[in-house]
């Protein structure tokens, strides 16, 4: 849908009220579920989210179910169990979730709990707060039945020890290896949008560091009238530009999802003299089902599921 058509749809209130109601009903019935998420591990996450959507579940249930697949997979070293630890060897997790009503929940610096996204959802649904951090978030999780468990797998522990031995020398992790956060956006069969974002954050970060992923408007933003956006990559840069909120606001102004992602990245690129040495990528899902994805550097992939397809797509970097 072009900008003009999208704006035209937005101006549908000029139509007679009965016709408007009929149109909304038609649009609601016609929706095909759609899920988009970051990185290769998004494929399995999308599959799970689609199962929820195909059985007429909500976008909110779908995004939680989807990212929980990545959180539970010990081979994914950037999310949940098996995530790379901080410099002191502690796995600390950040996550958030946002629904179609503008409700949001978030946890940061959470330790020993495998599913931070579900704790974030509990914060959203059971409290009048948005964000819990550290020990407070953990106590809240345990109070609500979450099991305490060791999240540092042997593989991640060995990699961390190797990194410690090499400290000060060349970092073996490339720009695409150290922040493979999963952001997942979904639209359900009645057209509602939701999103979730979860990560173990920057590998070998300073103890206490929190990235963009649990920050509403940075790692994730959902506006059910316009669209949703999610981020991955160097969290500090996403926070400084309120990245996901920016992508959604650009879509509100009429940018296509693709151009909105590119413009949000352009602001980061310009701040770094045109050639940042790190990766940031955005995905976006507009209310009419059109998607966008863009990355600063090559190597970023996103998974897109709609109808019977679930495919991984490569993104050409803006600067290489």
The least distance separating ligand GLY from the CB of residue 212, rounded to whole angstroms, comes to 5
> Of 105 and 211, which CB lies nearer to ligand GLY in the complex structure?
211
- Looking at the DSSP bridge assignments, the partners of residue 107 are 95, 132
Shortest approach of ligand GLY to residue 78 CB, angstroms? 8
Evaluate whether 134 touches 55 at the Cβ level (below 8 Å): no
CB nearer ligand GLY, residue 92 or residue 118: 92
CB atoms within 10 A of CB 289: 17
Residues ≥6 apart with Cβ < 8 Å to 270: none
Binding site for ligand GLY (CB under 6 A): 179, 181, 199, 201-202, 211-213, 232-235
Secondary structure of residue 316 in the 3-state scheme: coil
Minimum CB distance to ligand GLY smaller for 177 or for 288: 177
Q: Are strands 220-223 and 301-306 parallel, antiparallel or unpaired?
A: unpaired
Give catalytic status of residue 199 as yes or no. Answer: no
**Residue with smaller CB distance to ligand GLY, 234 or 287:** 234
C-beta of 193: minimal distance to ligand GLY in Å? 21
Nearer to ligand GLY (CB atom), residue 179 or residue 297: 179
Dist CA 314 CA 119 (whole Å): 32
What's the rounded Cα separation, in Å, for the pair 215 and 217?
6
Find out whether 67 and 96 touch, Cβ atoms under 8 Å.
Answer: no
Strand 104-110 versus strand 131-133 pairing type: parallel
Q: Are 246 and 139 in contact (CB under 8 A)?
A: no
The Cα–Cα gap between 242 and 134 comes to 23
Task: Give the shortest CB-234-to-ligand GLY separation in angstroms.
Answer: 6
Kindly state the smallest distance separating residue 292's Cβ from ligand GLY, in Å.
18
Of these residues, 181, 198, 241, 256, which one is catalytic? 181
The sign of the CA dihedral 68, 214, 242, 205 is negative
Task: Write out the catalytic residue numbers.
Answer: 181
């Amino acid at each position: 849908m072009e900008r003009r058509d999208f704006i035209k749809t937005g101006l549908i209130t000029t139509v007679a009220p009965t016709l408007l109601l009929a149109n909304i009903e038609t649009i609601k019935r016609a929706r095909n579920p759609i899920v988009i998420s970051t990185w290769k591990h998004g494929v399995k996450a999308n599959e799970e989210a689609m199962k929820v959507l195909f059985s007429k579940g909500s976008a909110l249930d779908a995004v939680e179910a989807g990212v929980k697949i990545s959180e539970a997979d010990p081979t994914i070293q950037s999310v949940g169990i098996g995530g790379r630890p901080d410099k002191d060897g502690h796995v600390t997790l950040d996550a958030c979730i946002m629904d179609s009503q503008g409700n949001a929940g978030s946890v940061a610096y959470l330790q020993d709990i495998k599913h931070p996204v579900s704790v974030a959802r509990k914060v959203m649904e059971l409290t009048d707060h948005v964000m819990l951090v550290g020990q407070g978030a953990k106590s809240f999780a345990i109070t609500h039945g979450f099991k305490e468990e060791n999240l540092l797998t042997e593989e991640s522990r060995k990699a961390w020890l190797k990194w410690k031995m090499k400290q000060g020398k060349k970092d073996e992790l490339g720009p695409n290896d150290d922040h493979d956060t999963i952001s997942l956006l979904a639209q359900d069969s009645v057209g509602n949008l939701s999103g979730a974002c979860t990560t173990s954050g920057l590998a070998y970060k300073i103890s206490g560091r929190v990235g963009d992923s649990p920050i509403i408007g940075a790692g994730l933003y959902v506006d059910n009238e316009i669209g949703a956006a999610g981020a991955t990559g160097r969290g500090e840069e996403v926070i400084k530009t309120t990245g996901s909120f920016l992508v959604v606001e650009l879509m509100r102004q009429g940018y296509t999802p693709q151009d909105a992602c590119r413009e949000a990245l352009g602001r980061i690129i310009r701040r770094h003299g045109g050639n940042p040495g790190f990766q940031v990528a955005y995905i976006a899902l507009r209310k009419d089902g059109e998607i966008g994805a863009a990355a600063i550097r090559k190597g970023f992939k996103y998974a897109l599921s709609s109808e019977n397809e679930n495919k991984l797509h490569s993104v050409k970097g803006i600067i290489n």
